Amino acid sequence: MTSLINQVLTRIEVASLADSLPAYQKLTGSDDIQQHEFPEFRIAIVGPFMLLEGPAETLANFRRSATVIVNDVTAATDIFLSEGGEVLDGPTPSAGGSRVIVKDRDGNAFECFQPAAA
């Protein structure tokens, strides 16, 4: 059996990326940080962590168990659906790739994200 998963990112809400990033950098031993700004919130990815900074009411719209980086978002969606899950949003294409929000049969919400081909 071949895995569709390339990486799993644990989502962590923080009050301040600037204040929180040093701890996660030390924890992961990584200086490789990917930061992205959106109109109402910011994210930083360091190792297996996705840190989210923004107003609580905004971040409530993005609460998920995890972000799962996959090599085939359609196949991942099909697996969730075949096992009793449901699609909550998407699939949605973006400049960075394609994403879908799914809920598994136990009610856990996940973002499945397939990065755009390099």
* Residues whose CB is less than 8 angstroms from the CB of residue 2 and which lie 6 or more positions away in sequence, other chains included: none
User: 35 in helix, strand or coil?
Assistant: strand
pLDDT above 70 (res 118) = no
- What is the average pLDDT across 72-90? 93
Phi, psi of 88 (to 5 degrees): -95, -30
Q: Are residues 27 and 20 in contact, defined by beta-carbon separation less than 8 angstroms?
A: no
**pLDDT (tens digit, 9 = 90+) per residue, 1-39?**
788 899 999 989 999 999 999 999 999 998 889 999 989
* Complete domains list, the chain, with CATH: 11-63 (3.10.180.10), 66-118 (3.10.180.10)
